[in-house]
Chains A and B, each alone.
Chain A
Amino acid sequence: MAKAIEYTPHPPTPAEKLGAATAQAEPALAEALELLTELHQRGGLDLALKLLRGSEGLTAAALDKVTGETGTNVIRNVVELGKLAGSLDPAELQVLLGALSGGVREAARSVEAGERVTPAGALRQLADPDVQLALGAVFGLLRGMGAGLRQRGEQGH
Chain B
Amino acid sequence: MKGIPAVTSSNDSGLTNNIGPKEPTAELLFPPGPLHPKSGEWVEVQIDGVAYPAQLGEPLLDVINRSGTELAQVCYHPQLGPIQSCDTCTVEIDGALTRACGTPVQAGQVVRTQTAPARAAQRDAYDRLIANHVLYCTVCDNNNGNCTVHNTLSTLRLEHQHRAYHPKGYEKDFSNPFYRYDPDQCILCGRCVEACQNVQVNETLSINWEAEQPVVLWDGGKPIGDSSCVSCGHCVTVCPCNALMEKSMLGEAGLMTDLPLPVFNSAVEAVKAVEPSTGLEAILGISEIESQAREGYIERTKTVCTYCGVGCSFDIWTKGRHILKVEPQQGAANGISTCVKGKFGWDYVNSEDRLTSPLIREGDHFREASWDEALDYVARRMTEIKDRHGPDALSFVASSKCTNEEAFLVQKFARQVIGTNNVDNCSRYCQSPATVGLVRTVGYGGDSGTIKDLEQADLVIGIGTNTAESHPVLATRLKRAQKLGRQKIVVVDLREHELARRADLFLQPRPATDFIWLSAVSRYILDHGLEAGEFLAARVDGLAEYRASLEPYTLEYAAQATGWSVETLKNLAEMIASHQRVCIMWAMGVTQQCGGSETSTAISNLLLVTGNYGRPGTGAYPLRGHNNVQGTSDMGAMPDQVSGYQRVTDPEVVARMQAEWGITLRPDRGLDNTQMIDAAIEGRLKAMWLTGEEMSLTDADVNHLIRGYESLELFVVQDLYFTNTARYADVIFPATPSLEKEGTFTSTERRIQRLYQVMEPLPGCKPDWQIYQAVAQRMGAQGWDYTHPGDIMDEVARVSPMFAGVSYSRLEGYDTLCWPVAEDGTDTPLLYTEEFHFQGGKARLWPAEYVAPVNVPDAEYDLQLNSGRMLEHFHEGNMTFRVPGIAAKTPDAFVEISPELAAERGVETGSWVRVVSKNGAVRLRALVTERVSGKQIYIPMNSRELEGSVNLLTGQNRDTITHTPAYKDTAVRLEVLGERGPSPLPRHNFRFGQPTPQRGVEVERKWARDDYFFPDGSYVGGVAEEGPGVGQAPAFGSDD
Q: Is B262 an interface residue (CB 8 A)?
A: yes
Contacts of A76 in B (CB 8 A): 273-274, 276-277
Among the 9-residue stretches B512-520, B705-713, B859-867, the one with 4 or more Cβ atoms under 8 Å from chain A is B705-713
Contacts of A63 in B (CB 8 A): 263, 266-267, 270
Q: Is B353 an interface residue (CB 8 A)?
A: yes
Q: Are B270 and A11 in contact (CB under 8 A)?
A: no
User: Within the assembled complex, what's the spacing in Å between the Cα atoms of A76 and B270?
Assistant: 11
Top 8 closest pairs, chain A to chain B, by CB = A4-B727, A63-B266, A79-B277, A76-B277, A7-B366, A72-B273, A11-B352, A67-B270
Sample 18 A-B pairs with CB under 8 A, ordered by A number: A1-B711, A2-B361, A2-B730, A3-B728, A5-B361, A5-B364, A5-B366, A6-B365, A7-B365, A7-B722, A8-B722, A9-B721, A56-B260, A59-B263, A63-B263, A64-B266, A67-B273, A76-B276
Q: Are A2 and B712 in contact (CB under 8 A)?
A: yes
Q: Are A5 and B269 in contact (CB under 8 A)?
A: no
> From A76, which residue of chain B is reached at the shortest CB distance?
B277
Contacts of A59 in B (CB 8 A): 263
Number of interface residues of A (CB under 8 A): 24
Q: Is A80 an interface residue (CB 8 A)?
A: yes
User: Within the assembled complex, what's the spacing in Å between the Cα atoms of A12 and B763?
Assistant: 10
Distance of A63 from chain B, by nearest CB (Å): 4
Q: Which of A2, A8, A75, A79 contacts B715 (CB 8 A)?
A: A2
Q: Are B277 and A80 in contact (CB under 8 A)?
A: yes
Q: Which of B273, B353, B710, B711 contacts A9 (CB 8 A)?
A: B353
Q: Are B359 and A60 in contact (CB under 8 A)?
A: no
Q: Are B270 and A2 in contact (CB under 8 A)?
A: no
Q: Which of A74-91 contact B (CB under 8 A)?
A: 75-76, 79-80, 83
Contacts of B274 in A (CB 8 A): 72, 75-76, 79
User: Within the assembled complex, what's the spacing in Å between the Cα atoms of A70 and B707?
Assistant: 82
Given contacts A64-B266, A80-B277, contact A1 B713 (CB under 8 A): yes
Q: Is A48 an interface residue (CB 8 A)?
A: no
Q: Is A134 an interface residue (CB 8 A)?
A: no
Q: Are B353 and A67 in contact (CB under 8 A)?
A: no
Distance of B106 from chain A, by nearest CB (Å): 40
- Interface 0/1 of A1-32, CB less than 8 Å to B: 11111111101100000000000000000000
User: Within the assembled complex, what's the spacing in Å between the Cα atoms of A37 and B711?
Assistant: 64
Contacts of B356 in A (CB 8 A): 9, 11-12
Q: Is A66 an interface residue (CB 8 A)?
A: yes
User: Within the assembled complex, what's the spacing in Å between the Cα atoms of A7 and B365?
Assistant: 7
Q: Is B354 an interface residue (CB 8 A)?
A: yes
Contacts of A2 in B (CB 8 A): 361, 709-710, 712, 715, 728-730
Distance of B1014 from chain A, by nearest CB (Å): 24
Contacts of A7 in B (CB 8 A): 359, 365-366, 722, 726-727
Q: Are A9 and B270 in contact (CB under 8 A)?
A: no
Q: Is B355 an interface residue (CB 8 A)?
A: yes
Number of interchain pairs (Cβ within 8 Å): 74
User: Within the assembled complex, what's the spacing in Å between the Cα atoms of A59 and B269?
Assistant: 14
User: For B270, B361, B730, which residue has the most chain A Cβ atoms within 10 angstroms?
Assistant: B270
Q: Is B155 an interface residue (CB 8 A)?
A: no
User: Within the assembled complex, what's the spacing in Å between the Cα atoms of A4 and B353?
Assistant: 18
Q: Is B782 an interface residue (CB 8 A)?
A: no
Q: Is B278 an interface residue (CB 8 A)?
A: yes
Contacts of A12 in B (CB 8 A): 356
> From A62, which residue of chain B is reached at the shortest CB distance?
B266
Q: Are A66 and B270 in contact (CB under 8 A)?
A: yes
Q: Which of B675-722 contact A (CB under 8 A)?
A: 706, 709-713, 715, 721-722
Contacts of B709 in A (CB 8 A): 2
User: Within the assembled complex, what's the spacing in Å between the Cα atoms of A80 and B282?
Assistant: 13
Contacts of B722 in A (CB 8 A): 7-9
Q: Which of B339-385 contact A (CB under 8 A)?
A: 352-356, 359, 361, 364-366
A4-B706, A63-B270, A72-B273 provided; 20 other pairs, C-beta below 8 A?
A1-B713, A2-B709, A2-B710, A2-B728, A3-B728, A4-B724, A5-B364, A5-B365, A5-B366, A6-B365, A7-B359, A7-B722, A9-B354, A9-B355, A9-B722, A11-B354, A56-B263, A63-B266, A67-B273, A76-B274
User: Within the assembled complex, what's the spacing in Å between the Cα atoms of A80 and B366?
Assistant: 73
User: Within the assembled complex, what's the spacing in Å between the Cα atoms of A3 and B710?
Assistant: 6
Distance of A119 from chain B, by nearest CB (Å): 44
Q: Which of B225-283 contact A (CB under 8 A)?
A: 260, 262-263, 266-267, 269-270, 273-274, 276-278
Contacts of A3 in B (CB 8 A): 710, 728
User: Within the assembled complex, what's the spacing in Å between the Cα atoms of A8 and B726?
Assistant: 11
Given contacts A1-B710, A80-B277, contact A60 B262 (CB under 8 A): yes
Given contacts A7-B722, A72-B273, contact A67 B366 (CB under 8 A): no
Contacts of B730 in A (CB 8 A): 2
> From A5, which residue of chain B is reached at the shortest CB distance?
B364
> From B722, which residue of chain A is reached at the shortest CB distance?
A7
Contacts of B267 in A (CB 8 A): 63
Q: Are B366 and A79 in contact (CB under 8 A)?
A: no
Contacts of B353 in A (CB 8 A): 9
Contacts of A75 in B (CB 8 A): 274, 277
User: Within the assembled complex, what's the spacing in Å between the Cα atoms of A3 and B728?
Assistant: 6
> From B260, which residue of chain A is reached at the shortest CB distance?
A56
Distance of A64 from chain B, by nearest CB (Å): 7
Contacts of B721 in A (CB 8 A): 9
Distance of B869 from chain A, by nearest CB (Å): 26
Contacts of A11 in B (CB 8 A): 352, 354, 356
User: Within the assembled complex, what's the spacing in Å between the Cα atoms of A9 and B715?
Assistant: 19
> From B711, which residue of chain A is reached at the shortest CB distance?
A1
Distance of A5 from chain B, by nearest CB (Å): 6
User: Within the assembled complex, what's the spacing in Å between the Cα atoms of A137 and B710?
Assistant: 105
> From A75, which residue of chain B is reached at the shortest CB distance?
B274
Q: Are A79 and B263 in contact (CB under 8 A)?
A: no
User: Within the assembled complex, what's the spacing in Å between the Cα atoms of A1 and B712?
Assistant: 5
- Interface 0/1 of B728-746, CB less than 8 Å to A: 1110000000000000000
User: Within the assembled complex, what's the spacing in Å between the Cα atoms of A130 and B355?
Assistant: 92
> From B762, which residue of chain A is reached at the shortest CB distance?
A11
Distance of A80 from chain B, by nearest CB (Å): 6
Distance of B659 from chain A, by nearest CB (Å): 40
- Interface 0/1 of A21-65, CB less than 8 Å to B: 000000000000000000000000000000000001001100110
Contacts of A80 in B (CB 8 A): 277
Distance of B523 from chain A, by nearest CB (Å): 52
Q: Are B728 and A4 in contact (CB under 8 A)?
A: yes
Contacts of A1 in B (CB 8 A): 710-713
User: Within the assembled complex, what's the spacing in Å between the Cα atoms of A83 and B279?
Assistant: 11
> From B262, which residue of chain A is reached at the shortest CB distance?
A60
> From B734, which residue of chain A is reached at the shortest CB distance?
A9
User: Within the assembled complex, what's the spacing in Å between the Cα atoms of A5 and B263?
Assistant: 54
User: Within the assembled complex, what's the spacing in Å between the Cα atoms of A63 and B266?
Assistant: 6
Contacts of B270 in A (CB 8 A): 63, 66-67, 72
> From B355, which residue of chain A is reached at the shortest CB distance?
A9
User: Within the assembled complex, what's the spacing in Å between the Cα atoms of A117 and B359?
Assistant: 105
Contacts of B365 in A (CB 8 A): 5-7
> From A72, which residue of chain B is reached at the shortest CB distance?
B273
> From B725, which residue of chain A is reached at the shortest CB distance?
A4
Distance of B748 from chain A, by nearest CB (Å): 33
Contacts of B361 in A (CB 8 A): 2, 5
Q: Which of A85-125 contact B (CB under 8 A)?
A: none
Contacts of B352 in A (CB 8 A): 9, 11
> From A71, which residue of chain B is reached at the shortest CB distance?
B270
Distance of B733 from chain A, by nearest CB (Å): 13
Contacts of B712 in A (CB 8 A): 1-2
User: Within the assembled complex, what's the spacing in Å between the Cα atoms of A3 and B707?
Assistant: 9
User: Within the assembled complex, what's the spacing in Å between the Cα atoms of A2 and B715?
Assistant: 9
User: Within the assembled complex, what's the spacing in Å between the Cα atoms of A75 and B271?
Assistant: 10
User: Within the assembled complex, what's the spacing in Å between the Cα atoms of A81 and B709?
Assistant: 82
Contacts of A72 in B (CB 8 A): 270, 273-274
User: Within the assembled complex, what's the spacing in Å between the Cα atoms of A126 and B903?
Assistant: 114
Q: Are A5 and B727 in contact (CB under 8 A)?
A: yes
- Interface 0/1 of B907-932, CB less than 8 Å to A: 00000000000000000000000000
Contacts of B266 in A (CB 8 A): 60, 63-64, 66-67
